[in-house]
Amino acid sequence: MRKRSLTLVALAVLPFLTGTGPAVAAEPGCSPATEVSASAAPVKVWLAGDSTMADPRSSCPVGWGSQFDPLFTTDVTVVNNAVAGRSVQTWLYESNVKSTKDSAGECVVSPRTFHQRWQNMLDPATGMKAGDYLMIQFGINDGDPNCPRHVGSGRYQELLTMMAKAARDRGVTPIFLTPVSAIRCSGNSAVGTRGFLTETANAGRAGGATVIDLHKLSYTLYNTLKLCPNDGDYTKGPVGAFFCNDHTHFEAAGARQIAGVVAKALRDQRIPLSSYLK
């Protein structure tokens, strides 16, 4: 009699062990075991910008983008395509932007063929994919009155909007950042130093991109750290630990703090990328 009971129990349990039994709903707040074991799909964060974002070629300057990857879990990879000295136009069309201006006052671009860095990011096999993010920060070199770096207000907005559309067409989320501020003191306070703030906001609305006001956030940080007033000697003290021997570029310590400011903005603005922050 005991052997028959054990046999019946085994027959009842067998379908569940082999996966052929009826599905069982997960308890509220829980996921099936198969979902728990599945890892999140990897996400890439693509960066396009200038020297204040770029990877370093020496100990200084160090762009904040080079310090961004460690702030995320292993599900995120940061791909830093920022390049020192570029405006949005020279970043996109490098070597094709001429030193002359057209009748509208814009630098002539001929041929209008994208630089390989942007072509690579648009490549369907190896470039940006659905679920990725594109973070764009220009506006420092764009104000140069001379070509090839010069970009006018309307052209700046046009190019940012175009980049945002290319991202959205691929299921990628575009994020614009206003240009990070240099350090300039007015009495005891750090004040803003950059232009293209309104243009970045306008392009964000036109291109469906979230805008992080890194310009304001950066000089607010300088005030929190009490970097003003200073005697202009960027080789010593708190200001020397943050900036290279100029008023614009960052030491590694400064770059890490700017990267932290950007990460905090992701959280504060509830941008979905923030869910991957450590």
Report whether pLDDT(162) > 50. Answer: yes
Looking at residues 185-211, what average pLDDT do you find? 97
Between CA 66 and CA 46 the distance in angstroms is 12
Report whether pLDDT(32) > 90. Answer: no
Report whether pLDDT(17) > 60. Answer: no
Report whether pLDDT(227) > 90. Answer: yes
pLDDT tens, position by position, 229-247: 999 888 899 999 999 999 9
Report whether pLDDT(100) > 80. Answer: yes
pLDDT tens, position by position, 67-92: 999 999 999 999 999 999 999 999 99
Q: List the end-to-end C-alpha distance of the chain, in Å, as a whole number.
A: 59
Instruction: Say what the pLDDT of residue 40 is.
Output: 56
